[in-house]
Amino acid sequence: MATDEDRLTGLCTRPTLRERLAEALAQATPDGPQPALLALDLDRFQEVNDSTGLATGDGVLSRVARRIVSAAPPGATVARISGDEFAVLLPDSSTGEAVAARLLELIGRPYAVNGHAVTISVSIGLALSPHDGGDADALLRSASIALHHAEAAGKNHSVRFEPWMQASASARQSLETDLRAALALNKVELRKAMVVDQFKIYYQPQVSLPDMQLTGFEALVRWQHPVRGMINPDDFIPLAEEIGLIGLLGDWVMHTACRTAAAWPLLSNGRALQVAVNVSPIQLRERRALVASIADALAQSGLDAARLEVEITESALIGDACETLRSIKHLGVTLALDDFGTGFSSLSQLAHYPFDRLKIDRSFVRNLPDGADLTSADATHARWMIQAIASLGSGLDMCTIAEGVETIAQAEMVRAAGVTDIQGFLISRPVPEGDVLALVRRLDAASTDAIHIFTEINHVERPLQPGVLQP
């Protein structure tokens, strides 16, 4: 039997685990206890390494390993599968769910390592023999599939394998194969024709308050699959991040959006339009590559750097993110903190980041009422939250933009709260590149009428249809 050992934790490794699992399955009898397998993955562990350093990360891994061993029943095998992934082979499947629950609680307790207080959670997949796999490879695969579902459920969960998950895993593998093909990469460059054929950028307008003047567009990538049709970004963006292709996709989006925006005309008031491009937290970790990508996109397109806004989510504000943001800011672009209010960034640290704008998450706007009743408890609470964010932005010399504005009533409420800009279906749905110029002309010409509609807000008692401000 293999006896290889992980140097950091002292646990056995995957080959030993597989051998012991095969032996346990071979020795199991129909009337006796059946083995089970737990697959564990520490949630967002890379952020621990990024924010505290590798030495602290290794210290956390060692302590996690000890806690797993302490929770494992007699006769169990605990293994370190890879960087932050572990597995537990249980001799009796009837203990599986209880051990998983114990591990969720135990691993979630705080750690004190090298002067750092670290809190981390874990996702767990559970596979039971013989229902979920009759051999070692099948049971390992089932536990891994269940683990993926636990992570997709919001992390810090334990999920038991179910037969339908196999079909879901196959569909995901198929989607991954298609994504890799659509972003095929050789040693020199993208197979650009394939990317252009399948990936498109849609643009959603942003307007200022209270004058409703068009200020720019947010670039939103879409995947038009030749067989599957339009694929939701929520399905392929996380997948691109997970399999290491987000940098490639993000680079294409950045270059395409800058090239498109460079051709946009000035407004009738002489104002130039901005374009906002989202950057993944994964991209932000690769500082040199990201800064080089932005600089190259600006140089190739000829777009004035001041017309490019780079959007970052709160989840990216870890480790040396501030230094990376300052490097991006040094290029002359503006920075926006996206989905503000949904993450866990420290307000005391926010002032140290070089952001120019806060984007209020659509979930806050969604809670605002659609009609003229602005005095309900829910409306009061939502207004207070938005006003707090707007006041914070004002105090830090940052503009604020509310996402997801769909009605005149919502627009008035965010304006009254002090928000400076809005974006949402009230103005327009995202449109393909070919429709942008016509939309610019319509919104530019309609701004005066839009102001009139906006000032008559108190007389509007029904939500307007998306794009109502377009003539």
Tokens of 399: 């503009």
Total-model pTM: 0.68
CATH superfamily of 179-459: EAL domain (3.20.20.450)
Q: What is the pLDDT along the chain (471 residues), one digit of tens a residue?
A: 445 889 999 999 999 999 999 999 999 888 889 999 999 999 989 888 888 889 999 999 999 999 999 999 999 999 999 999 999 999 999 999 999 999 999 999 999 999 999 999 999 999 999 988 889 999 999 999 999 889 887 788 999 998 888 777 777 777 877 787 777 643 234 444 444 468 899 999 999 988 889 999 999 999 888 778 888 888 889 888 888 889 989 999 999 999 999 999 999 889 999 999 999 998 998 889 999 999 999 999 999 999 999 999 887 877 678 889 999 999 999 999 998 866 655 666 788 899 999 999 888 888 786 654 556 666 677 788 899 999 999 999 999 999 999 988 889 889 989 999 999 999 999 999 999 999 999 998 876 555 444 444 333 333 444 444 443
Fold topology of 14-162: Alpha-Beta Plaits (3.30.70)
Q: H helices within 330-457, ranges in order?
A: 347-350, 362-366, 377-395, 408-416, 436-455
Q: Are strands 116-118 and 111-113 parallel, antiparallel or unpaired?
A: antiparallel
14-162 and 179-459 agree in CATH topology: no
State the Cα–Cα distance between residues 410 and 407, nearest whole angstrom: 5
Residue ranges per structural domain of the chain: 14-162, 179-459
Q: What angle do CA 137, 139, 140 make, to 5 degrees?
A: 65
Write down the pLDDT at residue 19.
94
Is 356:340 a contact under the CB 8 Å cutoff?
no
Write down the pLDDT at residue 190.
45
Q: H helices within 316-376, ranges in order?
A: 321-329, 347-350, 362-366
Is 315:309 a contact under the CB 8 Å cutoff?
no
- DSSP SS3 for 346: coil
